[in-house]
Structures are given as C-alpha cells and as structure tokens.
Amino acid sequence: MRDSLIVCVVEEGKADSIVKAALDAGVQGATILHARGTGALKSFGYLAMSVKPEKEIILIITKEDQTEMVFDLIVRVGHLNRPGAGFAFVQRIEKAVGFPEDIDLEAARKEIEGEALI
C-alpha cells in the first residue's frame, strides 16, 4: 500500500473550503474533527492573541499519485504559508483495513444474510 494520510490543522470554520477543494480535485473523502489547541501562546508570542484555540483537524487519505497535488492544494487554499493559519503534514500509511477497495462485497452480503437468519 502506497497511500498517504494528509493531516491539516486549521482555525475553526476554515476546513470546509479546504475539504471542498480536495474533493473537487478527486479525493474520495475527508474527515473533519473539532479540537482545541494549546501551543499558539508559546509559538507566536504577541501574535497568539489573534490565533483562536478552536481548531479543525482534516484527515484525507490519498493515493500515491495524488498526494503531492492535494497537499499543495491544501497549503494554497488554507493559506498555510501565513503565520498562525495552521499546518499540515503527510504520513505514509503502511497498513490499513476497511477501505472500499478492501471489502469483498459478495462475502459481506453473504455474511450479513447469514446473520439475519440467526
């Protein structure tokens, strides 16, 4: 498996536009988690007063041939080159399960039908 996980942390309210751009670019889906950050006060000093602690974490899994393009798109749409706008990173996925291409639909159907008979 050569898929990657792109993780992006942005201020609350900024994730939707980033996810829309990624979906328009061809990714299969994304997950948005809500969080509260604590590091801005130390990292940005006086600028920290303008950095809200409420964050959104975007998780996007990409195929190997999509990763660079989607990452660059996230940086551009999210304005991640600006101080305090957020950050993103890529993590290679070594093992995973539960993705649509991993599921044998016929076997799953038979298993569900068998459970219904019990």
Angle 15-24/67-77 helices, nearest 10 degrees? 140
Domain with 73, as residue range(s), is: 4-117
Question: What sign has the CA pseudo-torsion 15, 21, 24, 26?
Answer: negative
Which DSSP letter does residue 85 get?
S
Q: What is the per-residue pLDDT across 6-64, written as a single tens digit (0 to 9) for each? A: 999 999 999 999 999 999 999 999 999 999 887 655 555 555 556 678 999 999 999 99
CATH number at residue 95: 3.30.70.120
Say how many domains are in the chain: 1
pTM (two decimals): 0.78
